[in-house]
Amino acid sequence: MPGIAFGRIDDSFSVGSLKAYLAEFISTLLFVFAGVGSAIAYNKLTADAALDPAGLVAVAVCHGFGLFVAVAVGANISGGHVNPAVTFGLALGGQITILTGLFYIIAQLLGSIVACLLLKVVTGGLAVPIHNVAAGVGALEGVVMEIIITFALVYTVYATAADPKKGSLGTIAPIAIGFIVGANILAAGPFSGGSMNPARSFGPAVASGDFTNNWIYWAGPLVGGGLAGLTYSNVFMQNEHAPISSDF
């Protein structure tokens, strides 16, 4: 069973670790700017993208493409997590230390906040849309939906990027991760919003000042990501991989 490691302060503030935090900040900023920007753009061009099937497809495709790039550009520096739920799942699976993971999450949240504030400036003050459950969908249903789709995302991260047996499959990891996010948004967008990412939901909440039901997008993704990390690491990676602080 992979062990969970807390980590050391000196390791978490090494030059390599600081570069990794910066990479997570930049990758998350790029992803959120594109993803939230696509929703703002579609809202500007149509009456209501949230109720338009074409808008759902456009936003899903943009998030998938954006995450593919964000993961790819950060992969060789920080592992390209771009998501606190991914970081949490990898920490529970022994792939990154808890302490380093906390700094990753801080960098991701800051990247998302900055991206959303920049969007408000460059769009002339247009509203930044937040994640929320759809009419007729309760908070519990939203949490369960986010658990399921985030489990799928983090399981994909493990299978294509974290598993030492991945071999050449690792070369398509960013594509696979982008695809599962796009597919999950198509499935869950009309119900829970299809976040899978606390940072993706937190940045718009800060920029808009509206934290309505924001807890759903912490509880669901963290539980789903954690379950995926524990499942994959303990069932498929037993005694095969020691905790690390820089690869993922």
pLDDT tens for 5-17 read 888 888 888 999 9
**Three-point CA angle 118, 44, 201, nearest 5°:** 50
CB atoms under 10 Å from CB of 239, counted, come to 7
Q: Can you identify the CATH homologous superfamily of domain 7-234?
A: Glycerol uptake facilitator protein. (1.20.1080.10)
Name the DSSP class of 3. P
Q: Is the dihedral of CA 158, 25, 88, 238 positive or negative?
A: positive
Range of weakest confidence among 53-62, 87-96, 106-115, 192-201: 53-62
pLDDT tier for residue 94 given thresholds of 50, 70 and 90: very high
Is-contact 188 146, C-beta < 8 A? Answer: yes
Terminal C-alpha separation, the chain: 18
Task: Select from 71, 89, 88 the least CA-distant residue to 80.
Answer: 71
pLDDT tier for residue 2 given thresholds of 50, 70 and 90: low
Task: Select from 193, 207, 88 the least CA-distant residue to 139.
Answer: 193
As a whole number, mean pLDDT of residues 200-212 equals 98
pLDDT tier for residue 34 given thresholds of 50, 70 and 90: very high
Task: Select from 20, 18, 15, 65 the least CA-distant residue to 38.
Answer: 65
Residue with the bigger pLDDT between 242 and 203: it is 203
* pLDDT the model gives residue 66: 97
Tell me the pLDDT tens digit for each residue of 122-165.
999 999 999 999 999 999 999 999 999 999 999 999 999 999 99
Q: Is pLDDT of 37 > 60? A: yes
Range of weakest confidence among 73-77, 81-85, 241-245: 241-245
Q: Is pLDDT of 240 > 70? A: no
* pLDDT the model gives residue 25: 98
Query: How do the domains of the chain map onto residue ranges?
Result: 7-234
Task: Select from 107, 99, 98, 115 the least CA-distant residue to 77.
Answer: 107
The span from the CA of 81 to the CA of 75, in Å, is 8
Which residues make Cβ contacts (< 8 Å) with residue 197, sequence separation at least 6? 82, 83, 84, 85, 150, 217, 221
